[in-house]
Structure 1
Amino acid sequence: MPSLLLVEDDPSIRMAIEIALTRQGHQVATAATGEEALEMWQSQRPELVVLDVMLPGIDGFEICRRIRRTDQVPIILLTARSDDIDVVVGLESGADDYVVKPVQPRVLDARIRAVLRRHGNGGPDAGDTAVFGDLVVDRAAMTVTRAGEPISLTPTELKLLVELSRRPGQALSRQQLLRLVWDHDYLGDSRLVDACVQRLRAKVELVPSEPQLIRTVRGIGYRLDPPR
């Protein structure tokens, strides 16, 4: 039973989501403020955090940033508007996905399970080892190293790099990446892909502003190139 931390300040929404997720088989702890959320994250170490953006005290963006300093636990944002700048800021802060309010429990449960699958992905079908200069992507162990030093990636960042590494030199559209990485069965939101690529470049590129590995293919998406 996956352990989740639900952070939502509205009591009625918090209770409704908690009941729905519990019925879906999740173990849910709840917090109403940013300060309480950080305390519970540190003491309980949940497998996933469902995080409202607008909170009293410390907001969801800052919580996300603080967690990401030391922990790669999956984070799903709850946001009031899909076209809000909050989505972009949240994704750039390190969130793995987002769900728009009012929350549909089945949608949230599907997103949670998809992120947890990425977090636990590995096993015999994960593939082999891909080498890009001093960057090594071990698809069996689901680890990434540069010059022998491990690189800490979130489950979504790791899944994105693994999928790109399976097809070196091949351009993958944002729609393809949404299906492969996020398990979205619709065209979805390209901001998920773009924000994750930006975070991934910051970790694997020597000069993130001048990427040599993860290339943008204008009008299409991205490809992973071997170093020249």
Structure 2
Amino acid sequence: MKKILIAEDEALMQELLMVHLQEEYDVTIAKDGAEALERINLETYDAIMLDIMLPYVDGFTLCSEIRRMNQTPILMVTARTEVEDRVRGLELGADDYLVKPFDFAELKARLHALIRRSTIIEEKNEDVIQYGPFKMDIVSFSVHFDQQKVDLTVKEFELLKQLALSPKQVFTREDLLHLLWQEDEERDERAIDSHVKNIRYKMKKIGASTNLIKTVWGLGYQFDMPENRHE
């Protein structure tokens, strides 16, 4: 049974989440951000669900801290409807978001999709994608540039992989949404931009000579081919 951690401070919501999820998942509830952080340091989970408005340590801070430690799929949940909050969560490394009030069937679908993608990436047996100093290992879910590791979330890894598999193709945002998001998931083109921004930032952080993704103005994104392609 897959293990999920839910950081939620409302008692009624805690009860409802347990009722709807405990038959499919091994559910752990953290009643505030401090408890969630403690549990994350002690346990490994298949997915983490974070409410943004948490006592002691808020969801944004938790998301950032989780990404410093691992790439566990993160679903952020918020009562806020502002686009800026959703974008901020994605930029901090969240894989998906859900706005309250939500339907529990949709919540299950989102969690299932996140865990399924993570499992597929871990288990799928494909050759390594390599172009010069760029190396993406599908089996080990790892990306290196000039032998330096680039830590990506599940969604970031999937997006970069899609571009790298077809380096001559220009993908529109709609193309990428169709390829990376399930039909039952809420689709927002701004999520693509947020993930691209994250990948570029992480490449810059390791001092790479390329950000790996090129903007084709008016169209979308394309893999920015490093020199000295490896055949």
C-alpha separation in 2, matches of 1:125 and 1:10: 38
**For residues 105-124 of structure 1, what are the structure 2 equivalents within 5 Å?**
105-122=104-121
C-alpha separation in 2, matches of 1:75 and 1:61: 11
C-alpha separation in 1, matches of 2:4 and 2:185: 26
Overall identity of the aligned pairs, in %:
36
Q: Deviations over 1:125-162 (max 9, x none)?
A: 65422223301122344321122333222222111111
1:194 maps to: 193
1:225, CA displacement in angstroms? 2.4
C-alpha separation in 2, matches of 1:79 and 1:106: 17
Q: When the two structures are superposed, what TM-score results if normalisation uses the length of structure 1? A: 0.88
2:48 maps to: 49
C-alpha separation in 2, matches of 1:187 and 1:125: 26
Over aligned residues, Cα RMSD in angstroms? 2.3
1:87 paired to 2:86: yes
Q: Classify the secondary structure of the residue corresponding to 2:22.
A: helix
With over 3 angstroms needed to count, the CA separation of the structure-2 counterparts of 1:212 and 1:74, relative to structure 1, is closer
AA aligned to 1:196 is: H
When structure 1 is superposed on structure 2, of 61-70 and 169-178 the one drifting more is 169-178
1:181 maps to: 180
Q: Classify the secondary structure of the residue corresponding to 1:62.
A: helix
Contact 1:178/1:184 (8 A) holds in 2: no
With over 3 angstroms needed to count, the CA separation of the structure-2 counterparts of 1:122 and 1:49, relative to structure 1, is closer
Contact 1:9/1:31 (8 A) holds in 2: yes
AA aligned to 2:56 is: G
Contact 2:60/2:89 (8 A) holds in 1: yes
1:226, CA displacement in angstroms? 0.9
C-alpha separation in 1, matches of 2:147 and 2:116: 27
AA aligned to 1:3 is: K
Aligned length: 226
When structure 1 is superposed on structure 2, of 127-136 and 47-56 the one drifting more is 127-136
When structure 1 is superposed on structure 2, of 79-88 and 7-16 the one drifting more is 79-88
Gaps of 5+ in 1: none
Contact 2:210/2:224 (8 A) holds in 1: no
1:33 maps to: 32
Q: Classify the secondary structure of the residue corresponding to 1:144.
A: strand
1:148 paired to 2:142: no
With over 3 angstroms needed to count, the CA separation of the structure-2 counterparts of 1:54 and 1:122, relative to structure 1, is closer
Q: Classify the secondary structure of the residue corresponding to 2:162.
A: helix
1:223 maps to: 222
1:128 paired to 2:127: yes
1:70 paired to 2:77: no
1:121, CA displacement in angstroms? 2.0
C-alpha separation in 2, matches of 1:186 and 1:39: 30
1:7 maps to: 7
Contact 1:5/1:29 (8 A) holds in 2: yes
C-alpha separation in 2, matches of 1:41 and 1:125: 26
Q: When the two structures are superposed, what TM-score results if normalisation uses the length of structure 2? A: 0.87
AA aligned to 1:78 is: V
C-alpha separation in 2, matches of 1:85 and 1:184: 24
AA aligned to 2:166 is: R
